[in-house]
Amino acid sequence: MFTKTSPLTPAVASPRLVLWLSRAGALRARALSTVLTLFGLLILTFFIGRVMPVDPVLAIVGPDADASMYEQVKAQLGLDQPLWLQFGRYLGELVHGELGTSLLTGNPVVADIARVFPATLELATVAILIGTAAGVPLGVFAATRRGRWGDNLVRVIGLTGYSVPVFWFAMMGLLVFYAWLGWAGGSGRIDLEFDGAVRPLTGMLLIDSALAGQWDAFANAARHILLPACILGLHTMAYLSRMTRSFMLAQLSQEYILTARVKGLPEWRVVWQHAFRNILVQLLTIVALAYGTLLEGAVLVETVFAWPGFGQYLTNSLLLGDMNAVMGCVLVVGIIFVALNLASDFLYNLFDPRMR
């Protein structure tokens, strides 16, 4: 006799259904991991901020204020309450999309971040494009000439770009290309004559001026952004060239490369269509992490070039002890890195069939 099985039993479950359930479980696990990571980041930042030696109340009232004024401002800020209660109130505001009020500017932290972040996003995007366009080909070039003068030259350039402090490059760049040669636009994002002339749609001057058809403003903004972006891109190029060289050397020593050469394939096809294609997935992760580092670590270049961006805002907030702004910035940085990791995983699945 034949036994009738339920359509829901694993024995007759659709392979597509099993795959869908597996992917749904992976998405739930990733979402839970993301939430826990950001929550842990908030807890760590909050409690470290409360034990910092910087007193935000004193920064507001000044050193000459009397005790009653000090206690009044402290109560207004809620700093007289227990830490767990302060953290609970902060989480409640966060659920409603609020990050508190900045002591530095007196504006909501969300508004401040929305104002300064596009400047850093624009700078970091141009820098990662420059660094990737230069670093990846240099790494491939060095790997294909291992031990020869080209390899040694690329390694020296990479070591210099990675070891010399970025603020020194920034100051030397201003001295040479702005003060002496007059090629760069100097500090700031745009000259005063164009300040306010471009309607802010995205907050990124290159995009906004291009959309508005104001090509004079576009050229001026490009002249200002090119030098700091190249300096940041030099640091990124050094890192990417070294990693690309390492990945390529590992691939060029594989047996399938020898087989391709024995078959008589041109060297450029062996290098770019076979070896480079197999390191593309690894490079995507490296480029994504480098981009995240640029978004939150461009503070030195922003300071030298008076670039009104995210890094400069975070630094000023730290010096003042403005923990609402600091925690808001840290949360944004955490979200950026989590989003870039998720994007890297998606690209892994897109380019590597083994991951699917």
3-state secondary structure of 279: helix
3-state secondary structure of 305: coil
pLDDT at 356 over 60: no
pLDDT at 10 over 60: no
Sequence-separated (6 or more) residues with CB below 8 Å from residue 275 = 248, 251, 252, 254, 257
pLDDT at 131 over 50: yes
> Residue 21: which pLDDT band, with cuts at 50, 70 and 90?
low
pLDDT at 8 over 60: no
Give me the mean pLDDT over the 195-211 stretch.
87
Q: With residue 309 as reference, give the H or E element that holds it.
A: none
Radius of gyration for the chain, computed over Cα atoms and rounded to the nearest angstrom: 26
Sequence-separated (6 or more) residues with CB below 8 Å from residue 297 = 311
Looking at every residue in the chain, the average pLDDT score rounds to 83
pLDDT one-digit tens code per residue, 329-346: 888 888 888 888 777 777
Which residues of 247-335 form beta strands (DSSP E)?
A: none
Give me the mean pLDDT over the 255-267 stretch.
86
Residue with the bigger pLDDT between 185 and 223: it is: 223
Sequence-separated (6 or more) residues with CB below 8 Å from residue 227 = 173, 174, 177, 178, 184, 185, 305
pLDDT at 241 over 90: yes
Gap between the Cα atoms of 244 and 145, Å rounded: 13
Residue ranges, CATH 1.10.3720.10, the chain: 112-351
Topology given in CATH for the domain delimited by 112-351:
MetI-like fold (1.10.3720)
Q: Is the pTM of this model over 0.85?
A: no
pLDDT at 3 over 70: no
pLDDT one-digit tens code per residue, 53-93: 667 777 777 777 778 887 888 887 777 788 788 888 888 88
